[in-house]
């Protein structure tokens, strides 16, 4: 199984780079799934439902986020509706969205994605190691 992981996609330049590179890489390298961090696709701060849909249309299988996930308030209602948009699993209970998802890859295999956020130089949240366990 081949999985392409993309770090922080920043604003419009990052979205343009994804649009230019991801379809080509998926075809050339026969990639089964693409995971990208999209918490800063909206002008460098947050994500909107429209931009998440754009990234899915460009070939992302799963979008991860982090502490900027909720910078754009319109995404709050989108998190519970879109299981492929993840927030850190180690956020406390009651936070919108999920921290993990199981998808079917292009090759028909199942892939679990768990997203955790570290705590060094970040807001205090649940321990990522205990959450993963």
All residues at 6 or more sequence positions from 41 whose CB lies less than 8 Å from its CB, including other chains? 9, 10, 11, 14, 15, 47, 51, 52, 55
CA distance 111 to 115: 13
Give the C-alpha separation, 87 to 101, whole Å: 11
Residue with tokens 């321990």, as numbered in its chain: 127
**DSSP 8-state code for residue 74:** G
How far is 119 from 71, CA to CA, in rounded Å? Answer: 19
Set 68, 78, 90, 113: catalytic member: 68
Q: Is 68 a catalytic residue?
A: yes
Give yes or no for a contact between 61 and 52, defined as CB atoms under 8 angstroms apart.
Answer: no
Q: Catalytic residues, which ones?
A: 68
């Amino acid at each position: 199984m081949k999985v392409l992981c993309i770090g922080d996609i920043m604003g419009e330049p990052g979205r343009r780079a994804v649009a230019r590179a991801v379809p080509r890489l998926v075809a050339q390298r026969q990639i089964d799934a693409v995971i990208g961090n999209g918490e800063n696709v909206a002008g460098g701060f947050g994500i909107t439902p429209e931009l998440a849909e754009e990234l899915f249309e460009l070939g992302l299988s799963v979008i991860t986020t982090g502490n900027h996930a909720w910078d754009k308030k319109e995404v709050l209602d989108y998190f519970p509706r879109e299981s492929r948009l993840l927030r850190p699993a180690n956020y406390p209970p009651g936070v919108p969205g999920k921290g993990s998802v199981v998808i079917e890859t292009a090759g028909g295999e199942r892939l679990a994605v768990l997203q955790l956020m570290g705590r060094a130089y970040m807001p205090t949240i649940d321990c990522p190691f205990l959450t993963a366990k």
